[in-house]
Each structure stands twice: as C-alpha cells, then as structure tokens.
Structure 1
Amino acid sequence: MNHVRATFDGAAGGYDEQRRKLIPCFDDFYGTAVALAETSESRPRILDLGAGTGLLSSLLLKKLPEARLTLIDLSDNMLAVAKERFAGRTGIEYVREDYTSYTAEQACDLIVSGLSIHHLTDEGKQAVYRNAYNNLKPGGIFINADQVLGHTPFIDAHYKEDWKRKIEASGLTRAELDAAYERTRIDRMAGLAEQLVWLAQAGFSDVDCVYKSYNFVVLFGRKA
C-alpha cells in the first residue's frame, strides 16, 4: 500500500479542485451516494473509508449536519486537507491507517467510500466488504461510490476512451492530465457483477448498483 500512499500524498494539494473535471458525472455520482445515506438516527455514526480530503464526508454533512464522522485514509497529506476543510467542526475523528482491517470502536450507522476501494486487490475488496458488514449496526448501510471494469475488454476500452475524451476537453492543464493518467497506474478495478456477489457473500441484503455511468458506479448494501 505504500505506493498508493505516496501517489495520493503527492496529489493532495489540487485534488478537490480537479474532481469535477476528472469525474464527468460528478453531480449524479456523488448525489446518488448522498441520497442513499438514509438513517433514522439524528446523530449517526459515519465511517468514511479512504476519505482522502473529506469530499464525500463534506457532502454528507450537508444532509446530516449532526453526524459523527471517522475519516480513515493512508495519506497524511490528504487527511491534512480534510482537517483544514473541517477546521472548527466537532465530532470528526481522523485515522491514518489501512482501512481493510479497521475495527470501529462503536458500530456505525453508515459506512461510505468514494473512489478508493478500486485501488485494492480483489482479495482486499472482499476483505473490506466483510469488514464493513461487521462494523455496521443492524440496519446500517454501506455505500461504495467507485469505478469498475467493463464486463468485456471491448466495453472496458470504450469506458476508458470516453473518459479520456471528456477529461481532455475539460480544461485541465497538460500537467494535471498527465498526473491523472499516472494515477490510473495504481488502479485495480474489478467487474461490477463480481462485486455485487462479494457484497452479498459478505452478508449484505438488498445489494444493488443504484447508479452507473460508464465505469462510475454507486453500490449499496444493507445489514439486515
């Protein structure tokens, strides 16, 4: 995991500014993840896996302003940006740790992840899904907004070409584009169908892909 940490330590400074340009479906992608974050708790406990700069957490707080958040990430620099983002706000914990085997001190109402789990091996993804299930309260929800492989080599190549065409026209500088392409070298995406099976095998009910735009997906599972 050291190469992942180093990559995102280096990218932390301009990460948020580039998100809208690097994620062509930004509003629907993150908007779906937030819309799925339903809970009857007034002060829900939320665990954000691979939280990075806290982007997804910041969007969740607009919906659930009293939430108590734990942001976990490997990158010190990413978490430093998150701390600046949430400066002065209480109820937020920052953990610099590998989240694949993290055990929450108290069971969570919501566990979320945004564009992080696709950096793990298939075995790592399955471990995260099992761990998320174990860290949730009964009735708790897991939401993974991430990227997947196309289900055939032709479809996967089409996804990649579409993304490249869109970001090349986004206004990003050549240096920003080159850095984005370099970051894709650490991607270890898996297929959508396989991951829905892995979520069910981890114990989740009502497993679904609620949103999909090319290789950007939002996956859902509930701990019955």
Structure 2
Amino acid sequence: MENMHHVRSTFDASANGYDAQRRKLIPCFDDFYGTAVSLAVTGAQEPRILDLGAGTGLLASMLLQKHPEARLTLVDLSDNMLAVAKERFGGQPDIAYVCQDYTSYSAEGEYDLIVSGLSIHHLSDEGKQAVYGQAFANLKPGGIFVNADQVLGRTPFIDTLYKQDWWNKIAASGLAQAELDAARERTKIDRMAGLGDQLDWLAQAGFADVDCVYKYFNFVVMYGRKPL
C-alpha cells in the first residue's frame, strides 16, 4: 500500500507536461502504442472499453479514434492525471473517470476491451496477478485484454542492457536536465516482472491465445482473449 501512495504522489506531481514528454521517453512510441491499438479489435458497434491506469488518457484517445462510438471508463490513482484526461476529452459523453486503485476494480457489467498502458509494472507481482484475474472477470466472453508495458530482462545482464539503452536514448532526445532527472526518479517506483512470468499469469487467469505481440528491449505489448 505504501508503494501505491508513492505512485499516486509521483504521478500527481508529473501530470502537467506528462504527454509532451512521452515520445522522447518511449523510443519506440509509434510501434508500441500502434500495436496496442491494432490489437484492440471488437465487433461491437459501441464497445465498452476499460483503461486501467489511464493517466492522462493518451492510450484512450488513440482507441477512441479507432472506435469513435466507444464508451470509455478511465481508472487511475492520480486525480491530477485524470484532470488532464478530462481536459483532453472536454465534455465528450460516454467517458467515465474513476479515481481508485484498479487492482480490485469490479465492473458493473462486462467490457469488450480492457487495456493498460505503462502502469501495471508499478504493482507487486501479487498485484499484477490480481489485475489479470480481475480483468478476466470484467471482460465479456470473447473480450480482449491488451497490456502495453515494461518488463524485466531475462537475466541481470540483459536487464542492465535494456536500462542503459533506454537511458542513452532519452539522454540524447533533447529533454531538459530537469525532465531527465524526473524520469530517472520515476523509475524508483518501478516493480517490473519478467515477460515469461506475466504470460504465465495471464494464462493462469483464464486467458486464451496469450502472447507477446511486440517487444522492443523492455517495452512489450501482451495480449489475451477471454474464451467464448
């Protein structure tokens, strides 16, 4: 619980200007988010979409371009992040904002799509497994879960390689020193787990066709489908 308070305060403090830094902090930005959106496939005309750790609504805005009739629920711990999301979407109808710990979020009805972008890696391993189980419960049969996130390298050497590559790239991105310092500080709340473990946890939660569809160093997009 202490870590979740730290997560909330960290992202409350960084809400303003968060989106402007995204492309520089995520070297594979277009492919990373583009893959997540490509996987968010549903036959529903007005799909219900749940975004876990929605932050400023960046991923949700991309999904809304693909599914303009969607009804969105954005859940996040940070009031300040959700305030930015509300400003992004203005008075757009069919968007609900929920400020709470999403590890135990129980929907009032089932969703066609559940997504998460760069959030679940802040949780403990037990928290990650709880989210995967809850996501499965909150999906309609045939519903899709997509987690675009960061993972540990398979060995300490590989993990160090990943982190050094990321740092080299963002250091050369043009970000101001204060922004670089803030980015490094935010890594202190990361609690990443291995990719293999997480694919196993998705399968154990009940998801079928579990896979890592995209991988760039420690940035990955994971997929699972709730069987019909």
Shared fold per TM-score greater than 0.5: yes
**Please, which of 181, 197, 200 is the counterpart of residue 203 of structure 2?**
200
- Residue 138 of structure 2 corresponds to 135
Letter in 2 for 1:179: A
User: Once the 2 structures are TM-superposed, how far is the Cα of residue 88 of structure 1 from its aligned partner?
Assistant: 2.2
Distance of 1:172 and 1:9 partners within structure 2:
20
Q: Any residues of structure 2 matched to 1:53-202 within 5 Å, and which?
A: 53-202=56-205
In the alignment, which residue of structure 1 is the partner of 2:11? 8
Other structure's SS at 1:220 match: strand
Q: CA deviation at 1:106?
A: 1.2
Gaps of 5+ in 1: none
Give me the TM-score of the superposition, normalised by structure 1: 1.00
1:33 equivalent to 2:36? Answer yes
Matched residue type, 2:214: Y
Aligned partner letter, 2:108: E
Q: Deviations over 1:128-168 (max 9, x none)?
A: 00000000000000000000000001100000000000000
The residue type paired with residue 192 of structure 2 is M
TM-score (norm 2): 0.98
Asked if residue 218 in structure 1 is aligned to residue 221 in structure 2, the reply is yes
Unaligned runs of 5+ residues in structure 2 are none
What stretches of structure 1 move > 6 A for 4+ residues in a row? none
Tell me the number of residue pairs that the alignment of Structure 1 and Structure 2 aligns: 224
| SS in structure 1 of the partner of residue 108 of structure 2 | coil
CA-to-partner distance for each residue in 1:68-104, whole Å, 9 max, x for gaps? 0000000000000000000021100000000000001
CA distance in 1 between partners of 2:201 and 2:133 (Å): 9
Task: Give the match's secondary structure for 1:171.
Answer: coil
Identity of aligned residues (%): 76
**Match for 1:42 among 36, 41, 45?**
45
Q: Distance in 1 between matches of 2:109 and 2:172?
A: 45
Q: CA RMSD in A?
A: 0.3
Q: How many angstroms apart in 2 are the aligned matches of 1:88 and 1:130?
A: 32
Distance (Å, rounded) in 2 between the aligned partners of 1:102 and 1:144: 16
Question: What is the CA–CA distance in structure 2 between the aligned matches of 1:102 and 1:153, rounded to whole Å?
Answer: 33
- One-letter amino acid of the counterpart of residue 219, structure 2: F
